[in-house]
Amino acid sequence: MKALLAAAACLVATPLMAQDAARGAALFDRHCAVCHGTGLRGDGPMAEVLAVPPPDLTRIAERYDGFPRVGIAWKIDGRDPLVSHGGDMLLFGHVFGTMSEMMTDGSQTLVTAPEVVDLVAFLERQQE
């Protein structure tokens, strides 16, 4: 069922350049699951020591009434700083490489790291 939904999402989503949701999933396990949880529900092992609880990342589309692809990329790469992502230190901007790639959600275009593009593609497919 999940695979079927992912396939359907591929058909309807605006294609991003070189997006790779599978690579995004691997990056998520390595860098994000510690807080957000492997199932994206905000229940990773570090969640309980954080002052701000990590949000359920399967409900982004529900929270924003649609998946704000570029806005979410901003949050991950640190241009829209989140306290728990390192604030002004742009945590993931440093973790990921310096190569850049363009992504768009129809109204906005953003140049970001390919890792961020892959993570956004992965997250977009996990929406409920």
**Considering the rule CB under 6 A, would residue 127 count as an interface residue with ligand HEC?**
no
Alpha helices in the chain (DSSP H): 2-12, 21-31, 33-36, 60-64, 69-77, 91-95, 114-125
**Considering the rule CB under 6 A, would residue 26 count as an interface residue with ligand HEC?**
no
**Considering the rule CB under 6 A, would residue 41 count as an interface residue with ligand HEC?**
no
Q: How far is CA 17 from CA 77, 79, 112, in A?
A: 17, 20, 12
Distance CA 125, CA 5 (A): 8
Site string for ligand HEC, 46-65 (x = CB under 6 A): x---x-x-xx-x--x--x--
Q: Of residues 19, 78, 92, 112, which one binds ligand HEC by CB under 6 A?
A: 92
Amino acid at 80: D
Residue 109 carries which DSSP code?
Answer: E
**Considering the rule CB under 6 A, would residue 83 count as an interface residue with ligand HEC?**
yes
Applying CB under 6 A, which residues contact ligand HEC?
Answer: 28, 31-32, 34-36, 46, 50, 52, 54-55, 57, 60, 63, 72, 75-76, 82-85, 92, 119
